[in-house]
A and B are shown apart, each in its own frame.
Chain A
Amino acid sequence: MTVASTVMTKRKPADGSKHADADGGSKPAGADRGDGLLAALFIAPAMFGFVVFLAWPTLRGIYLSFTRYNLLTPAEWVGLDNYRRMVNDPIFWSSLRVTVEYVFINIGVQTVAALCIAVLMQRLTKSSFLRGIVLTPYLVSNVVAGVVWLWILDTQLGIGNQILGALGFDHVAFLASNEWVIPSIALINVWRHVGYTALLLFAGLQAIPGDVYEAARVDGSGELRTFWKISLPLLRPVLAVVMIMTVIGSFQVFDTVAVATPGPGGPANASNVLQLYIYSSAFGRFQFGYASAMSVALLAVLSVITIVQYRLTRAGESDLG
């Protein structure tokens, strides 16, 4: 509420003069009277939510990362202790490594698969029924996805291993072995999200004007060439934004791991992703300060990646003209 009221009070002295330039004054002057008050009223609920549950928690999280805090006694300022501990904590580094491994597999497979689906949808059929089908997994929660694949990938009875067996391969302990657990989790999440990503890319493809394709056809360009020379380059801004969104999303993997792997962090912390470690530090050991410090680290990593990605991919510019 505080910010909403500042907006309200700030507005008053500037009444006649300054605000009219906002959008060129296309309205009769009299109609503007009271806009500031009205705006404050209309924004108040959203502003309340923004300040109380987004802005303030962000600042508070940063503050808590410099404290020792267990929820029961007041937070005690400890300076950089949590960060020092973090740097020397092998589990933190292993969880970061595991998370990065997950992100790479997840993004790699998901982007290629989504691109493939999007192009197929564009070139084969525009049926919204087909689009509905690929979106279905997105409708179920990560928990549901985790439980189903836990069953499908079960070492003994899972249909996945039954098929492997029938093909003459050994059974694989997908979710219970150190080397398979992260790739398996990544693929489960690809299954759930690939349809959504594909639809975003499909929309991007649809926005490419048809005459570009027409020209390519006249030039005798084949499907593959058209894809590499036209679809992909013109899709770049959409692809870039989608990838930034997926990277941010996949760094926050938690649900699937919590559901589909045994115990906290799996064998030898092989599936102890960063979020899981943050969660268990906070709620398993009540080290809210330490957990906050790791959240700050995650935020820092995400910001750097987002900015670098944005720059590298020139996500803000379009080649469509």
Chain B
Amino acid sequence: MSVLTPPPPTSPSAPAPEPAPEPAPRTTAEVRRRTRRTLPSPGRMLAWTVMGGIVLITLLPFYWIVRTALSSNTALTTDPSSPLPVDFSWGGFERVFGLQSTEEALAQGGSGGSLNFWRYLFNSTIVATMVTVCQVMFSAMAAYAFARLRWRGRDKVFGLFLAGLMVPAIFTLLPNFVLIKQLGLIDTLTGIALPTMFMTPFAVFFLRQFFMNLPRELEEAALLDGAGKVRIFFQLLLPTAAAPMMTLGILTYITAWNDYFWPLMVSYSDSSRVLTVALNIFRSQTPQSGTDWAGLMAATLVAALPMLLLFGVFARRIVNSIGFTGIK
């Protein structure tokens, strides 16, 4: 658990070029490393250079999206390597949102296709929210039953759940598609959300770990006061579990939002199309010869932005939770 100790407060959202090499608080480990600083500093400089290179490779594609999205297509072909937007233009975004006349869009290299952005944003939001809220809630209930209630066959049933961790997603996709089709839920948001709404083995496992570590006294006092277990769970344990449930929720939301394969199988029309699928359809619409790169990058930015904004808000929590999810 020591992995989880929050790191020194730095600003997680401000786009500074490179973090300062001197972290603020001085724990014992920090003091110890201080002595290492006397090591020949070329090594450290090399290390920082490598780190700088990694940061650059990580972030450059994001910058390139913005730079291209704000350029005009004709200028892109004449000056492809300019680090700044060439012939600044909102045209790409206008094509994405369908704000241009078809002739104008074709003239600028678009296909006349557009993203029904708000519709897809709405669909993605509904699906990810449904999956996240239900999955976290139901998994928390199951985790509580596995961790805190006593019943026959508990460990065997839990073992069965754990075995589910090993079944790769692809394997259940085809049979699930057949099932969703038979249920008549093809091309509905419910159809997209349903398979992951009730549980994932990981979610149950993750929350069970948390409930197992809660002290028994917490419940016992309430039991003596005459509270029922249902009430204890909802009024006492759930609030205690707010932090891990939030962590799990954010990770679930990201996964559900970014999912492509399953929504691609299930949705056929605008009514249930999510952003990931829409983006690839937009891509396949742009002309093969002389691709509308400005429009395509504008669409990419539009599709990526919601999660990047969410990350801006929850960066610290997400970053700190990764280690926790990995160390089982």
Decide if A125 touches B80 in the complex (CB within 8 Å): no
- Which listed residue (A42, A64, A298) contacts B168, Cβ 8 A? A298
Decide if A50 touches B62 in the complex (CB within 8 Å): no
- Which listed residue (A43, A213, A288) contacts B178, Cβ 8 A? A288
Decide if A255 touches B319 in the complex (CB within 8 Å): no
Decide if B172 touches A45 in the complex (CB within 8 Å): no
Q: Which residues of B contact A157 (CB under 8 A)?
A: 76-77, 80, 293
Segment at the A interface, from B51-59, B113-121, B240-248: B51-59
Q: Which residues of B contact A174 (CB under 8 A)?
A: none
Decide if B64 touches A135 in the complex (CB within 8 Å): no
Within 8 A of A (CB), among B119-166: 134, 138-139, 141-142, 144-146, 149-155, 157, 160-161, 164, 166
Decide if B58 touches A195 in the complex (CB within 8 Å): yes
Q: Which residues of B contact A97 (CB under 8 A)?
A: none
- Rounded to whole Å, the gap between the CB of A63 and the closest CB of chain B is 9
Q: Which residues of A contact B41 (CB under 8 A)?
A: none
- Rounded to whole Å, the gap between the CB of A298 and the closest CB of chain B is 6
Decide if B8 touches A127 in the complex (CB within 8 Å): yes
Using known A-B contacts A45-B199, A124-B48, determine if residue A130 contacts B19 with beta carbons closer than 8 Å: yes
Q: Which residues of A contact B48 (CB under 8 A)?
A: 124
- Which listed residue (B11, B175, B265) contacts A129, Cβ 8 A? B11
- Which listed residue (A61, A163, A217) contacts B32, Cβ 8 A? A217
- Which listed residue (B61, B81, B178, B198) contacts A162, Cβ 8 A? B81
- Rounded to whole Å, the gap between the CB of B6 and the closest CB of chain A is 8
Q: Which residues of B contact A20 (CB under 8 A)?
A: 150
Q: Which residues of A contact B145 (CB under 8 A)?
A: 38-39, 42-43
Decide if A18 touches B216 in the complex (CB within 8 Å): no
Decide if B152 touches A10 in the complex (CB within 8 Å): yes
Decide if B276 touches A159 in the complex (CB within 8 Å): no
Using known A-B contacts A50-B199, A71-B178, A241-B328, determine if residue A139 contacts B308 with beta carbons closer than 8 Å: yes
**Contact string against A for B residues 151-191, beta-carbon threshold 8 Å, 1 for contact and 0 otherwise:** 11111010011001011111110111111010000000000
- Rounded to whole Å, the gap between the CB of A246 and the closest CB of chain B is 11
Within 8 A of A (CB), among B283-298: 283, 288, 291, 293, 296-297
- Which listed residue (A11, A31, A132, A241) contacts B315, Cβ 8 A? A132
Q: Which residues of B contact A60 (CB under 8 A)?
A: 175, 178-179
Decide if A53 touches B157 in the complex (CB within 8 Å): no
Bound CA–CA A27/B217 (angstroms): 10
Q: Which residues of A contact B152 (CB under 8 A)?
A: 10-11, 14, 18-19, 36
Bound CA–CA A53/B275 (angstroms): 24
Using known A-B contacts A46-B139, A126-B8, determine if residue A200 contacts B61 with beta carbons closer than 8 Å: no
- Rounded to whole Å, the gap between the CB of A290 and the closest CB of chain B is 11
Within 8 A of A (CB), among B13-59: 16, 19-21, 23, 28-29, 32-33, 35-36, 39, 43-44, 47-48, 50-51, 54-55, 57-59
Within 8 A of A (CB), among B280-328: 280, 283, 288, 291, 293, 296-297, 299-300, 303-304, 307-308, 310-311, 315-316, 318-320, 322-324, 326-328
Decide if A217 touches B36 in the complex (CB within 8 Å): yes
Decide if A49 touches B198 in the complex (CB within 8 Å): yes
Within 8 A of B (CB), among A11-39: 11, 14, 18-20, 22-23, 26-28, 31-32, 34-36, 38-39
Bound CA–CA A18/B36 (angstroms): 59
Residue B100 interfacial (CB < 8 Å):
no
- Which listed residue (B6, B61, B199, B277) contacts A191, Cβ 8 A? B61
Decide if A38 touches B230 in the complex (CB within 8 Å): yes
The dominant DSSP class at the A interface is helix
Using known A-B contacts A137-B58, A203-B3, determine if residue A196 contacts B322 with beta carbons closer than 8 Å: yes
Q: How large is the interface on B (under 10, 10 to 19, 20 to 34, 35 or more residues)?
A: 35 or more
Bound CA–CA A314/B175 (angstroms): 34
Residue B279 interfacial (CB < 8 Å):
yes
Decide if A159 touches B80 in the complex (CB within 8 Å): yes
Decide if B220 touches A27 in the complex (CB within 8 Å): yes
Decide if A147 touches B171 in the complex (CB within 8 Å): no
* Chain B residue nearest to A26 in the complex (CB): B216
Decide if A136 touches B62 in the complex (CB within 8 Å): yes
Q: Which residues of A contact B154 (CB under 8 A)?
A: 22, 39
- Which listed residue (B58, B229, B327) contacts A134, Cβ 8 A? B58
Q: Which residues of B contact A83 (CB under 8 A)?
A: none
22 contacts between A and B (CB under 8 A): A11-B152, A11-B153, A23-B150, A27-B216, A46-B204, A49-B198, A50-B164, A64-B175, A124-B21, A128-B7, A128-B319, A132-B315, A136-B62, A144-B300, A147-B299, A157-B80, A199-B322, A204-B327, A206-B3, A248-B168, A254-B260, A303-B166
Pairs of residues from A and B, 8 with the lowest C-beta to C-beta distance, nearest first: A49-B198, A203-B323, A46-B142, A57-B175, A200-B326, A141-B258, A46-B199, A162-B81
Known: A42-B141, A53-B194, A125-B19. 8 other contacts (CB 8 A): A20-B150, A43-B141, A128-B316, A130-B55, A132-B316, A254-B261, A255-B260, A298-B170
